[in-house]
A and B are shown apart, each in its own frame.
Chain A
Amino acid sequence: MSKLSFYLPVLGFVFVAIALWRGLYLDTKTLPSMLIDKPMPNFELTSVEGSGVSNLDLPDQIFLLNVWGSYCLPCLIEHPTLMRLSEEGEIPVVGVNYRDQQGLAIDWLADNGNPFSFSILDESGRFGIDLGVYGAPETYLVDANGVIRFRHVSVLDESVWQEKFLPAIAELLEEGS
């Protein structure tokens, strides 16, 4: 009994200490997406370029859905990676122009280059809510059936592409064959 009453508080202390220690390094800013393994939400909107777009216009293969805006500085950092991916034909990239203005978006694409097959114009942020977006940039990996399989919040640079997206894509291809 006396042994137990000595070791119990010690064990308790160790348990709490480990829990708090882990807590220091938890990433509380990146939320898990609720849409993983769910189909892309339906949309019938216009593109930044001004034509009507809906789910039917999405690629019939694995593609990236990138949430961007002309006001978004980190988007400039990931831009070269998106440009490379689309120029080299590695994967199609569809844009969501989130809480932006059409004119500014058009200018931004003209200045920096346009990696997107098309960009869904979401000035009100309403489509972003259906996606569970909480700020640009975010990038979703969508499979050939239009199901969302992975989300990355914040900048998608070459190392994120190598370390997170390529393995996720390899997994999708494996399960498809």
Chain B
Amino acid sequence: MNSTATELNRKVFLTLISIVVLLCSLLLPNTTYSQVDTFEFDTEEQQDRFRTLSDELRCPMCQNSSLSGSTGGVAEDLRREVYRMIMEGMSDSEINQFMFERYGDFILFRPRLTAGTVFLWFGPLLFLFIGGLFAFGIWRRARKITDSDTELDKTQQKRLQQLLGDKT
């Protein structure tokens, strides 16, 4: 009896430890490893824009990594282009447009809102709505049950009393 109790305590302890470790790992800085380019910027704002853009543009030749996290040849060229365009004073949307015209929706990690991407943007909301409908239905049915079905009528009450009476 005692040994199962300590066994249980040990399991609870281990579970708690792993939860704490997992939570701590969430607090660690979650930045992707950035390629070291020797780009020099005039202002910090330009540098920030460069970082954001190369994080939000996808490397066309490597699946699912951004320009900043990729050593691929095209990624290197595209980072250089982003740098050039920032230094020429182009806006973020102009730079995104430049990339879109050449590589399409694929290159934008934040896809634009078009007829083709509507489902991508609002699909989750649609699913939330459907789930909400189901949840609402279940909740309503549950409420109905507590209101009427759980009440005992007189004969049922009597029978209940009898059963309880028998025990005591």
Contacts and interface: CB of A to CB of B under 8 A. Distances in A.
Interface stretch (A46-54, A102-110, A111-119, A127-135): A127-135
A126 B103 contact: no
B103 A34 contact: yes
Chain A interface main SS type: loop
Given A34-B104, A99-B73, A134 B61 contact: yes
B63 A28 contact: yes
B94 interface: no
Given A134-B61, A135-B61, A31 B77 contact: no
B7 to A, nearest CB: 40
B60 A125 contact: no
A133 B103 CA distance: 8
Contacts of A32: 104
A29 interface: yes
A9 to B, nearest CB: 9
A42 interface: no
A31 B78 contact: no
Interface string A12-34: 00000000000000001101111
A145 interface: no
Range for the number of chain B residues in contact with chain A: 10 to 19
B93 to A, nearest CB: 17
A124 interface: yes
Contacts of A33: 104
Given A34-B102, A99-B73, A135-B73, 17 more contacts: A29-B63, A31-B60, A31-B106, A33-B104, A34-B100, A34-B104, A125-B73, A129-B74, A129-B77, A129-B78, A129-B81, A130-B102, A132-B103, A133-B74, A134-B60, A134-B103, A135-B74
